[in-house]
Amino acid sequence: MARLNRRVLPGFGLSLGYTLFYLTVLVLLPILACFSKAASLSLGEFRAAVWTERTRAAYALTFGTSLVAATVNVLLGLLVAWVLVRYRFPGRRLMDSLIDLPLALPTAVGGLVYASLYVKKGWLGRYLVPLGIQAAYSRLAIVLVLVFIGLPFVVRTVQPVLEDLDAETEEAAASLGATRWQSFRRVILPPLYPALVTGFALAFARSLGEYGSVVFVSGNMPYKTEIAPVLIVARLEEFAYGEATAIAVVLLVISFSMLVLINLLERWSKRGAAHA
Amino acid sequence: MTQAGRLLRAAILALAAAASPVHAADSIELLNVSYDPTRELWRDLNASFAPQYLKDKGVAVTIKQSHGGSSAQARAVIEGLEADVVTLASFIDTNAIAQRGLITGDWAKRLPNNSLPYTSTIVFVVRKGNPKGIKDWPDLVKPGVEVITPNPKTSGNGYLSFLSAWGSVVLRGGSRKDAIDYVTKLYKQVPVLDSGARGAATTFVQRGIGDVHLAWENEARLEVQEARGDLDIVYPPISIRAEPHVAVVDASVDRKKTRAAAEAYLKYLYTDAAQEIIAKHFYRPASDAVLKRHAASFPALRLFSIKEIALDFPDAHKQFIAEGGVFDRIYKPR
């Protein structure tokens, strides 16, 4: 009872217990159910379900577009966060709250609106399509909606770090003779690396699972613009639960390994930032 | 059963009875699990059935409707949604529920007309004045014609379009190879494979993509009505007969003790009053008399049965749509 507690706040046991419970019920249990359903298939059936030319094309598309979108988001997100933190201008507050909108909007709405903008007769499409830019029902369309959906993740992870970064450090760098590029590269960027990597990981993970918006803009053409989640739905429509979850398991395993890799990268970049 | 066991069971039953919101037999609630576009149809049918049942049996019946993609609805019932009746778009979906034992026996035989109070088909919707001159299935593969139809793998509208296209070749003297060539060409002219019927309608109507939309007959009629002259309907000479079966879900009605009302509800669909409502919503009524009365709104065309191109719907699905079927080969690169 009278255990020594060196922490200022009590409740380690309780909070850890709650965390474990929460993780189990919300995350582990559904994943476990998914794996057990997939395990109802024989090894041959599993292979046949998850490794065909068509599923491989879908995995490549899902991971490829998610990577591109997350990369674009890192660049765009950094820019947006920079503008929001470093400058004061009318409408900044409004702009700041607009950033979160993609999180609140049902993604299907995002997909529908993007498609209607970029088709031949859409507001933007009528100028882009004659130039040969098909930004609806193409891979580009998928990247566009994924950028839309992932943007808040990068902005919101980078923003607080930028806020903590004193403008004086750049001034110091400049007064010590650094060029603008040098002070950006050597002074501003290093402390931002961990936040950028986190933002990248979040945006990337979010894109992998995205279904609602993508089905409306991609055109869902097999081998070309068909993402892996569409294949899962197609198998479910056939009441092939085992096959559907098998594809889900493959997605989960690849996603999980990529996220672990990114986490390692993040830790490594933090160490780098600490040394800088 | 032991004394204690019997006591426990009685106690549980008493508790359940006390907790049950159903007041004896004078009011009852049914759940009708259906597919997407039938919302308005069932609203009208329910409004007409309830007073009739109250008059005949003295029971006030409230009917709850649930709508969604047909096979998603079937999955919901399989996973425990307690539907008293299912009125889904495709035999395959109802059959999937039956295969899990929730609907028993030779269910399609239980109601008149093979449990089909209405049928429907796939027709063409084209732009005003039909600028590409689309009259028949072969016109769909002319150069420069863009066809809008949803993904056969994820949509009932989609797979019926596919089967119609197939039947239009093999039932007019074409070989299997001709049919494969035809559908391969056809789907090369489909620029977008939406996941469902509503998505395809949006693509065609709102986005202005495509020259022809292969749609459910009832949806096509509404689409053309709402477009106020911008769209026209074209009846091809041949198309598939779509069969949206209705069935009582035995497992649910036995547990909820609603069998009598559920069966009366489905039987009611075959009465003249209900058949009239069905025709008004552009579904082809089962009653010949009612169909004749509405002959003007249902042009005659050769509606072929699934049995003419396959053993039945599950067999057609396996041959054409399922993994490794004809549809999968269309898109194979090279």
Residue pLDDT, tens place only, B262-316: 999 999 999 999 999 999 999 999 999 999 999 999 999 999 999 999 999 999 9
CB-closest option in A119, A223, A240 to B209: A119
Give ipTM to 2 decimals: 0.76
CB burial of B282-320 (b: ≥16 within 10 Å; e: otherwise) equals bbbbbbeebbeebeeebeeeebbebeebbeebbebbebb
Secondary structure of residue A135 in the 3-state scheme: coil
What's the CA gap between A222 and A58, in Å, rounded?
8
Alpha carbon of B212: minimum distance to chain A alpha carbons (Å): 16
CB-closest option in A54, A219, A236 to B193: A219
Domain that holds residue B80: 3-116+243-269
Residue B106 and residue B125 share a domain = no
- pLDDT digit string, tens, across residues A82-105: 999 999 999 999 999 999 999 999
The CATH number for A181's domain is 1.10.3720.10
Q: Does A222 touch chain B (CB under 8 A)?
A: yes
Residue B265 and residue B252 share a domain = yes
Q: Is the pLDDT of residue B112 over 60?
A: yes
Residue B160 and residue B93 share a domain = no
Span B69-85, mean pLDDT?
93
Cα separation values, A187 from A178, B95, B311, Å? 10, 67, 73
- Give A4's pLDDT tier (boundaries 50, 70, 90): low
Return the residue in A235, A237, A241 with the most chain B beta carbons within 10 A, the one to mutate for interface testing. A237
Residue B250 and residue B110 share a domain = yes
Tell whether A24 is covered by a domain.
no
Q: What is the pLDDT of residue B22?
A: 46
What's the CA gap between B142 and B54, in Å, rounded?
56
Tell whether B198 is covered by a domain.
yes
Q: Is the pLDDT of residue B148 over 80?
A: yes
Residue B152 and residue B84 share a domain = no
3-state secondary structure chain B: CCHHHHHHHHHHHHHHHHHCCCCCCCEEEEEEEECHHHHHHHHHHHHHHHHHHHHHHCCEEEEEEECCCHHHHHHHHHCCCCCCEEECCCHHHHHHHHHCCCCCCCHHHCCHHHHCCEEEEEEEEEECCCCCCCCCHHHHHCCCCCEECCCCCCCHHHHHHHHHHHHHHHCCCCCHHHHHHHHHHHHHCCCCCCCCHHHHHHHHHCCCCCCEEEEEHHHHHHHHHHCCCCEEEECCCEEEEECCCEEECHHHHHHHCCHHHHHHHHHHCCCHHHHHHHHHCCCEECCHHHHHHCHHHCCCCEEECHHHCCCCHHHHHHHHHCCCCHHHHHCCCC
Domain that holds residue A236: 42-275
User: Would the CB atoms of B328 and A120 count as touching at under 8 Å?
Assistant: no
Q: What is the pLDDT of residue A262?
A: 85
Q: Does A214 touch chain B (CB under 8 A)?
A: no
CB-closest option in A119, A120, A223 to B333: A223
Tell whether B291 is covered by a domain.
no
Span A45-53, mean pLDDT?
92
Specify whether the CB–CB gap between A201 and A266 falls below 8 A. yes
- The residue from B251, B269, B287 where one domain ends is B269
User: Would the CB atoms of B193 and A220 count as touching at under 8 Å?
Assistant: yes
Q: Name the residue in chain A with its Cα closest to that of B205.
A: A116
Q: What is the pLDDT of residue A167?
A: 82
Q: Is the pLDDT of residue A239 over 90?
A: no
User: Would the CB atoms of B332 and A236 count as touching at under 8 Å?
Assistant: no
The CATH number for B186's domain is 3.40.190.10
Of B63 and B26, which is predicted with more confidence?
Answer: B63
User: Would the CB atoms of B195 and A230 count as touching at under 8 Å?
Assistant: yes
User: Which residues, 6+ apart, have CB-to-CB distance to A196 below 8 Å?
Assistant: A74, A78, A154, A157, A158
Taking CA A152 as the corner, what is the angle to CA A150 and CA A154, rounded to the nearest 5 degrees? 80
Q: Is the pLDDT of residue A272 over 70?
A: no
Q: What is the pLDDT of residue A5?
A: 55
Q: Is the pLDDT of residue A156 over 90?
A: yes
Secondary structure of residue A143 in the 3-state scheme: helix
Q: Is the pLDDT of residue A177 over 90?
A: no
Residue B129 and residue B105 share a domain = no
Which among A237, A251, A195, A73 is positioned nearest to A145, based on CA atoms? Answer: A73
Q: Does A123 touch chain B (CB under 8 A)?
A: no
Of A185 and B179, which is predicted with more confidence?
Answer: B179
Lowest-confidence region among B104-108, B152-156, B157-161, B307-311? B152-156
Which among B172, B146, B124, B186 is positioned nearest to B320, based on CA atoms? Answer: B186
Which among A146, A219, A124 is positioned nearest to B203, based on CA atoms? Answer: A219
Tell whether A6 is covered by a domain.
no
Q: Is the pLDDT of residue B81 over 60?
A: yes
CB-closest option in B96, B207, B328 to A115: B207
Span A215-243, mean pLDDT?
90
Span A2-13, mean pLDDT?
70
CB-closest option in B69, B191, B195 to A215: B195
Alpha carbon of A256: minimum distance to chain B alpha carbons (Å): 27
DSSP strand pairing (B118-127 vs B284-285): antiparallel
Residue B238 and residue B109 share a domain = no
Lowest-confidence region among A56-65, B20-29, B55-64? B20-29
CB-closest option in A221, A234, A243 to B154: A234
Q: Does A89 touch chain B (CB under 8 A)?
A: no
Q: What is the pLDDT of residue B23?
A: 45
Tell whether B144 is covered by a domain.
yes
Residue B162 and residue B307 share a domain = yes
What's the CA gap between B171 and B179, in Å, rounded?
10
Alpha carbon of B191: minimum distance to chain A alpha carbons (Å): 7
Q: What is the pLDDT of residue A169?
A: 83
Total domains present in chain A = 1
Residue B252 and residue B223 share a domain = no
Q: Is the pLDDT of residue B155 over 90?
A: no
User: Would the CB atoms of A235 and B323 count as touching at under 8 Å?
Assistant: yes
What's the CA gap between A124 and A119, in Å, rounded?
8
Q: Name the residue in chain A with its Cα closest to that of B70.
A: A237
Tell whether B276 is covered by a domain.
no
Q: Does A80 touch chain B (CB under 8 A)?
A: no
Q: What is the pLDDT of residue A144?
A: 96
Q: Name the residue in chain A with its Cα closest to that of B151.
A: A220
Span A158-172, mean pLDDT?
89
- Give B129's pLDDT tier (boundaries 50, 70, 90): very high
Specify whether the CB–CB gap between A165 and A188 falls below 8 A. yes
Most confident range, picked from A15-24, A65-74, B188-197: A65-74
Q: Does A119 touch chain B (CB under 8 A)?
A: yes
- pLDDT digit string, tens, across residues A109-119: 999 899 999 99
